[in-house]
């Protein structure tokens, strides 16, 4: 298992590698190896990343799905996947986890294991990511306020009446 993991890790970290040719079975194999590693103290850091999922058949969508890119920011994933899926539709974005490992012969201090190369956000992505974070925070504040209102005894009709702009 470790030899195969070493081989996949080398493919993922090879300079200039686009890593677009990992099959779903290889991604699954890599995931299984990562799960095996989770039981050992070799993992020194984890981070959330976003996988851009593309179908191999851009015409009818009958081909297999694969990981086109792995991005540090969700906004980068949206940018890279925009218009790249079946008939020009946007690719699916799936949150996943990348891990950094050490204490193995194939690991370097910055070895990240993920289905593909991790793209860093550009300036526009950082601005879009801040906007996404603001939207998420606003949505959470609204949800929390609705829960407090319901806990205080307001009905759905009362809450709806409060939300109507005059």
Q: What is the pLDDT of residues 78-118, one digit of tens each?
A: 999 999 999 999 999 999 888 877 655 555 545 667 665 56
- Tell me the per-residue pLDDT of 9-43, one tens digit each, with 9 for 90 and over: 666 655 555 555 566 677 667 767 666 665 554 66
pTM, full prediction: 0.48
pLDDT over 70, % of the chain:
64
Sketch the domain layout of the chain as residue ranges: 43-121, 128-163
Q: What whole-number distance in Å separates Cα of residue 98 and Cα of residue 49?
A: 6
Q: HSE-up of 76 (CA within 13 Å, CB side)?
A: 18
Pairing of strands 118-119, 65-71: parallel
For the chain, what is the total number of helices (H) and then of strands (E)? 5, 5
């Amino acid at each position: 298992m470790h030899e195969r993991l070493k081989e996949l890790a080398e493919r993922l970290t090879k300079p200039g590698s686009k890593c677009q040719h990992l099959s779903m079975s290889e991604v699954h194999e890599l995931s299984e190896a990562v799960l095996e590693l989770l039981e050992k103290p070799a993992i020194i850091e984890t981070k959330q990343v976003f996988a851009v999922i593309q179908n191999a058949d851009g015409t009818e969508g009958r081909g297999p799905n694969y990981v086109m890119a792995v991005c540090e920011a969700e906004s980068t994933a949206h940018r890279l996947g925009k218009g790249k899926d079946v008939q020009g539709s946007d690719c699916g974005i799936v949150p996943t986890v990348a891990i950094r490992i050490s204490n193995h012969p194939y690991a370097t201090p910055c070895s990240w294991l993920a289905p593909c190369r991790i793209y860093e956000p550009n300036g526009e992505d950082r601005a879009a990511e801040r906007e996404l974070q603001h939207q998420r925070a606003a949505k959470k504040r609204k949800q929390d306020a609705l829960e407090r209102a319901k806990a205080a005894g307001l009905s759905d009709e009362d809450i709806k009446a409060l939300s109507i702009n005059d």
